[in-house]
Amino acid sequence: MPSSVISPDLVAAYREADYLVETVDAPFTLKIGRSSPELRTLLKTHHADGAAFLTACNPGSVRCSGAENDRAQKALLDDLHSQDLLAIGGVGRDMSKNWPGEPSFLVLGLDLERARELAEKYRQNAFVWADGGGIPELMLMR
């Protein structure tokens, strides 16, 4: 993995987090590096080659107010809808409980480059990416 300016402890927290996808029928959790049959099925059902788990909350891992995070999430959702992308609600959860859960979206059909652009636009340190194989990867931005 290329070196990053993000602290190793923060990268470890991202890797250990649970990424809950809140589907209507059967919510499921993504874990970095672990195959997700549910994600593979969802990708296949929607004829998508990949997906990204994105948030606009707490840019640069600096805690923001609920109102600021709500505005940022709405802007992200507006961006996704303007591109006719399917965004399923979710939450990124720090399992050590040192950081509040962050509302997020699993975005189907988003290519890796566009996912990077959105993560950069919303000043995120990282995001989660999976291709059609359904194995989530942590993508560091810095």
How big is the CA angle at 64 (ends 85 and 142), to the nearest 5 degrees?
65
At residue 95, the pLDDT reads 72
Task: Kindly tell me if the per-residue pLDDT of 1 is higher than 60.
Answer: no
- CB distance 36 to 134 below 8 Å: yes
Query: pLDDT tens-digit profile of 108-134?
Result: 999 999 999 999 999 999 999 999 999
pTM, rounded to two decimals: 0.92
pLDDT, mean over the chain:
92
The Cα–Cα gap between 41 and 4 comes to 33
Q: Report residue 20's pLDDT band, with 50, 70 and 90 as the boundaries.
A: very high
pLDDT value of position 62: 87
What value does the mean pLDDT take over residues 84-99? 87
SS3 breakdown of the chain: % helix, strand, coil, rounded to 5? 35, 25, 40
Cα gap 135→86, rounded to integer Å: 19
Quick: pLDDT tens for 33-47. 999 999 999 999 999
- Residue-level pLDDT at 137: 97
Q: Which residue(s) pair with 54 in the sheet?
A: 105
Give the tokens for residue 47.
Answer: 């004829």
